[in-house]
């Protein structure tokens, strides 16, 4: 408590100006001296002595002056010390503020670095997941390709073995039984010819695919009539159409312009499409062929494209298989036929390559159980200039 009182008195004294403090000290000293002299005068003489009054006034004035100046000096020094201390405290506070700002800045930088490191780690994790997914997908693709290769080799072996076995068997019969009736010998010879043609087609498919993949396919372009090609193909397919009691309906534009293509390659495409329509059609159905000229994309533009469509009334194809059937070595096996059609799955991919070479498109429209329509486009022969052709988009909507 005494310490608190002393502190308050000290603060009060330091707050008072030195001149006022000096006057206050002198006044207090004089008053105290006079009181002491009066008391001593009465105690020593029994009455108030005038000299003691002057002495009580002058003596304390001198003493209080000395004490006052000394006190003022001490107070001034204390004030200077306090100001210096406050200045140092302020400087120290400023230094601490600067250090604190630097520390906060360093903390922010470290947080940014941590965030950047976290972002980089997340990016690396994402890339690792993507690469892992890509590798997994590639592995699945390789695995699927390997399975497809095994299936293709098995199919090729079967497709090659079947006609060879027939040819060999019937040839051995003809050689061993020379006394067979002419009709029987002729029937066997026809079977040998059919199987030989089948074997030749398989070999040609392999050769064509090899040439296409190697970029060595040769195209001998000339002006060709699509209608004439269909007439030839119909003759070749006549026997198969009769065996399944199928009707062949040709709907060809009478003003159909010619196309500048390799006749043998386009006939190969049309033969494949018609043969597939016959193969997958149900007994007693109809194979319909439609050839038309497509109008230009803009009003008044001359027609540039010929569209060929081959439709059947067979088992149809599910939409999920539309793209797959144009892949090499692929055939749709989920069908309702008791006997799965033979083949290596090379026909449609070869057709796609041939049509794409001429800038056209080939596509399928179908619904399961409602038949299929295979269509392709070819550019009309341009007699004015050899201008680059723009491919016509392929439609993929299902037939109702």
Measured distance CA(53)–CA(89) in Å, rounded: 52
Which pLDDT value is given to residue 71? 67
Give residue 236's Cα distance to chain centre. Answer: 49
Which pLDDT value is given to residue 335? 43
**Is pLDDT above 50 for 251?**
yes
> pLDDT grade, residue 160 (50/70/90)?
confident
**186: exposed, middle or buried (C-beta count within 10 Å: 0-12, 13-18, 19+)?**
exposed
Measured distance CA(270)–CA(151) in Å, rounded: 27
From the list 244, 268, 239, the residue with the least C-alpha distance to 349 is: 268
Q: Which position has the higher pLDDT, 24 or 302?
A: 24
Q: Which position has the higher pLDDT, 15 or 160?
A: 160
**Is pLDDT above 80 for 226?**
yes
Which pLDDT value is given to residue 383? 63
The CATH code belonging to domain 144-211 is 1.10.287.130
Measured distance CA(172)–CA(178) in Å, rounded: 10
Which pLDDT value is given to residue 342? 55
pLDDT digits (tens, 9 = 90+) for 266-305: 998 998 899 888 888 888 888 999 999 887 554 445 457 8
**Is pLDDT above 50 for 74?**
yes
Share of the chain above pLDDT 90, in %: 21
For 399, the token pair is 């037939």
Share of the chain above pLDDT 70, in %: 68
Instruction: State pTM to two decimals.
Output: 0.54
Which pLDDT value is given to residue 8? 60
Which pLDDT value is given to residue 327? 74
pLDDT digits (tens, 9 = 90+) for 358-384: 989 999 998 887 889 999 999 888 765
For 236, the token pair is 């070749």
Determine how many CB atoms are found less than 10 A away from the CB of residue 4: 8
For residues 118-143, give the mean pLDDT. Answer: 90
Which pLDDT value is given to residue 41? 62
When mean pLDDT is compared over 111-125, 152-166, 246-260, the highest value belongs to 111-125
Which pLDDT value is given to residue 282? 85
Measured distance CA(5)–CA(325) in Å, rounded: 106
Which pLDDT value is given to residue 395? 38
C-alpha count within 13 angstroms, C-beta hemisphere, residue 160: 10
Q: Which position has the higher pLDDT, 400 or 178?
A: 178
**Is pLDDT above 50 for 263?**
yes
Which pLDDT value is given to residue 97? 92
Q: Mean pLDDT over all residues of the chain?
A: 77
SS3 readout for the chain = CHHHHHHHHHHHHHHCCHHHHHHHHHHHHHHHHHHHHHHHHHHHCCCCCHHHHHHHHHHHHHHHHHHHHHHHHHHHHHHHHHHHHHHHHHHHHHHHHHHHHHHHHHHHHHHHHHHHHHHHHHHHHHHHHHHHHHHHHHHHHHHHHHHHHHHHHHHHHHHHHHHHHHHHHHHHHHHHCCCCCHHHHHHHHHHHHHHHHHHHHHHHHHHHHHHHHHCCCCCCEEEECHHHHHHHHHHHCHHHHHHCCCEEEEEECCCCCCEEEEHHHHHHHHHHHHHHHHHHCCCCCEEEEEEEEECCCCCCCCCCEEEEEEECCCCCCCHHHCCHHHCCCCCCCCCCCCCCCCCCCCHHHHHHHHHHHCCCCEEEEECCCCCEEEEEEEEECCCCCCCCCCCCCCCCCCCC
Rounded to the nearest 10 degrees, the angle between the axes of helix 263-280 and helix 226-236 is 50
Give residue 71's Cα distance to chain centre. Answer: 88
For residues 188-199, give the mean pLDDT. Answer: 82
Measured distance CA(143)–CA(152) in Å, rounded: 14
Q: List, in sequence order, every residue forming a beta bridge with 45; answer none if it has no partner.
A: none
The CATH code belonging to domain 223-379 is 3.30.565.10
Which pLDDT value is given to residue 2? 60
**Is pLDDT above 60 for 133?**
yes
Which pLDDT value is given to residue 309? 94
């Amino acid at each position: 408590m005494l310490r608190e009182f002393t502190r308050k008195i000290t603060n009060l004294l330091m707050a008072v100006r030195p001149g006022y403090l000096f006057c206050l000290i002198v006044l207090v000293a004089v008053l105290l001296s006079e009181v002491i002299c009066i008391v001593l005068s009465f105690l020593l003489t029994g009455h108030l002595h005038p000299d003691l009054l002057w002495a009580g006034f002058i003596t304390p004035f001198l003493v209080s002056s000395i004490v006052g100046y000394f006190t003022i000096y001490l107070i001034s020094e204390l004030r200077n010390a306090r100001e210096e201390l406050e200045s140092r405290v302020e400087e120290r506070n400023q230094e601490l503020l600067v250090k604190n700002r630097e520390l906060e800045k360093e903390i922010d930088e470290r947080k940014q670095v941590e965030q950047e490191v976290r972002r980089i780690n997340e990016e690396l994790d994402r890339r690792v997941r993507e690469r892992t997914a890509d590798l997994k997908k590639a592995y699945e693709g390789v695995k699927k390709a390997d399975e497809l290769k095994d299936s293709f080799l098995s199919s090729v072996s079967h497709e090659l073995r079947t006609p060879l076995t027939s040819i060999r068997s019937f040839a051995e019969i003809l050689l061993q039984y020379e006394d067979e009736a002419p009709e029987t010998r002729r029937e066997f010879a026809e079977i040998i010819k059919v199987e030989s043609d089948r074997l030749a087609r398989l070999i040609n498919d392999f050769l064509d695919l090899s040439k296409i993949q190697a970029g060595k396919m040769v195209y001998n372009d000339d002006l060709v009539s699509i209608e004439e090609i269909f007439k030839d193909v119909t003759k070749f397919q006549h026997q198969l159409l009769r065996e399944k009691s199928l009707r062949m309906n040709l709907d060809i534009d009478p003003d159909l312009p010619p196309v500048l293509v390799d006749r043998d390659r386009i006939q190969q495409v049309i033969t494949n499409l018609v043969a597939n329509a016959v193969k997958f059609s149900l007994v007693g159905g109809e194979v319909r062929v439609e050839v038309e000229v497509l109008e230009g994309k803009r009003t008044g533009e001359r027609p540039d494209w010929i569209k060929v469509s081959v439709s059947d009334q067979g088992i149809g194809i599910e939409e999920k298989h539309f793209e797959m059937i144009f892949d090499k070595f692929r055939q749709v096996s989920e069908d309702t036929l008791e006997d799965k059609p033979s083949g290596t799955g090379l026909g449609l991919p070869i057709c796609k390559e041939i049509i794409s070479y001429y800038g056209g498109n080939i596509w399928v429209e179908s619904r399961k159980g409602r038949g299929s329509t295979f269509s392709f486009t070819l550019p009309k022969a341009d007699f004015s200039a050899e201008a680059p052709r723009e491919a016509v988009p392929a439609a993929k909507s299902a037939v109702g």
